[in-house]
Amino acid sequence: MTNIQTSKIYDLEERTLQFSKNIALYIKILPRTISNIEYGRQLIRASGSVGANYIEANESLSKKDFVMRIKICRKEAKESAYWLRLIVETNDDKVTEAGMKYLKEAIELKKIFSAILQKSK
């Protein structure tokens, strides 16, 4: 792995961007059912909000603002995991296999933001 690739893995802004991008690509493979369309719509919003709020947190004007934005990041990561779980549990194996990878990432992001909150206190 090159230094650029290594640094991207540990850059949380990049990681949240990749998460949102991967979700957008994942949504494209879902069967077009009424539930998948709605779950996908909600998932796109939540996953994009994780990274957007993390960028806002890094540009915060105060510690209080930073903590609030990180809480929103955690909340949106939890919501992403919720929608992913619904998709995984209501679709076939092909969709489930790919979805589990993103579900694990959403849970990991939630844990990262929880750790950031703990250290911010």
Torsion of Cα atoms, 71 then 14 then 46 then 28, to 10° = -170
pLDDT per residue over 65-115, tens digit each? 999 999 999 999 999 999 999 999 999 988 898 899 999 999 999 999 999
Q: Is residue 1 part of a domain?
A: no
Q: Is residue 5 part of a domain?
A: no
Q: Is residue 81 part of a domain?
A: yes
pLDDT at 9 (0 to 100): 46
Q: What is the pTM of this model?
A: 0.89
Contacts of 112 (CB under 8 A, 6+ apart): 12
Residue 105, domain CATH: 1.20.1440.60
pLDDT per residue over 61-73, tens digit each? 999 999 999 999 9
pLDDT per residue over 5-53, tens digit each? 445 446 999 999 999 999 999 999 999 999 999 999 999 999 999 999 9
